[in-house]
Amino acid sequence: MSKRSHRFDIVVGLAAFAAMAVAPAVTSNQALFDLVIRGSALALFATSLNLLIGYAGMVSFGHGMFFGLGAYGFGLIMQRTSMPIPLALLASLALAAAVAIVVGAICVRLKDIYFAFVTLAFQMLLYSLITSWVSFTGGDQGLRGGIPRPVFFGIDLAKYTHLYLFSSALLIIGLLAMRHIAESPFGYSLRVIRDNAVRASFLGINVWRMKLAVFVIAGTFAALGGAVMSLFVSGAYPEFANWPMSGEAVFMIMLGGLGVFLGPLVGTVLLLLLNDVITRFTEYYGLALGLVILLFTLGLRKGLLDFAVDLVRRRATAHGALPTEVAHE
């Protein structure tokens, strides 16, 4: 990608952060801040999954494993050692990356539905480890007793505003980093692999190594999301590593749009709002969510941002203008 558009991304990121930073001065709506913190955790998770699905064409159905790993890893490190938060964060990411290397080495050779289900099986293995190793993880009850938050660099995450700003900052940094990766030559190699793996390998791309690399990167960022979530709920629960977590992430991507970088972010916000509305009106959450998923998959047939981008493109061509580069796909 050109230096200019990279700089543009950073400016957008800084502007977004500035907007989020002034929000507490304007409003004191607790629900909004909750949404931003939860949203940060889940958006990091969903966007990282889209690196796999949208860019590399690897439909993982076990990505929740890394979200859970981040949450438990971070929580356990904070509870059992006296590491400062930034170091614990890095350590939990390193743990997730190490696991991703092992799991990825086994999985990335597999294709399509095999890949989806074997990643799911690994996730369920982690899930059964978490629920059965009661003395270490707290089993079904989850990691309780709160996560200590020692002050670092003057940041006190026990204060709600600090936590809010910290999550927002991690979200922006994470998104910028993933954007940079997606637009790098590496990111474009992934697109080639997605579209035609045979051609990619004839072009001299080491497909296996590339896929493993993106699997590890995606797992690491998912763990970052998990760590943010564990800070938010001050604990970790087996549900973080259970299969519906992966299902929801896949749906968040689909909801927002696969073909646009910010699609998963939009999808995350939509799903969180949707959750709010659904739970207010009915106790049958699954039924309502299932119907919404059907509406998108069989009705609209693409995510909202994909839909919008297509619409803009079609307009542009209809007016005789050359289709400009709206999205990068």
Phi, psi of 304 (to 5 degrees): -60, -45
| Biggest CA pair distance of the chain | 67
DSSP string, 266-323: HHHHHHHHHHHHHHHH-S-HHHHHHHHHHIIIIII-S-HHHHHHHHHHHHHHHTT---
111 or 315: CB nearest other proteins: 111
Interaction site with other proteins (CB under 8 A): 53, 59, 61, 106, 109-114, 116-118, 120-122, 124-125, 128-129, 131-132, 134, 243, 247, 250-251, 254, 258, 284-287, 289-291, 293-294, 296-298
CB of 61 to other proteins, least distance (A): 7
CB of 7 to other proteins, least distance (A): 33
CB of 137 to other proteins, least distance (A): 12
* Count of residues making up the chain: 329
R_g (Cα) of the chain, nearest Å: 20
Which of 263, 254, 233 is closest to 300 using CA atoms? Answer: 254
- The torsion region of residue 150 among left (phi > 0), alpha (psi -120 to 50) and beta comes to beta
8 or 133: CB nearest other proteins: 133
31 or 298: CB nearest other proteins: 298
Cβ atoms 163, 169 nearer than 8 A:
no
CB of 94 to other proteins, least distance (A): 23
CB of 226 to other proteins, least distance (A): 20
Alpha-carbon distances, residue 176 vs 11, 54, 281 (angstroms): 10, 17, 37
CB of 127 to other proteins, least distance (A): 8
CB atoms within 10 A of CB 248: 20
120 or 227: CB nearest other proteins: 120
111 or 199: CB nearest other proteins: 111
152 forms beta bridges with 155
90 or 98: CB nearest other proteins: 98
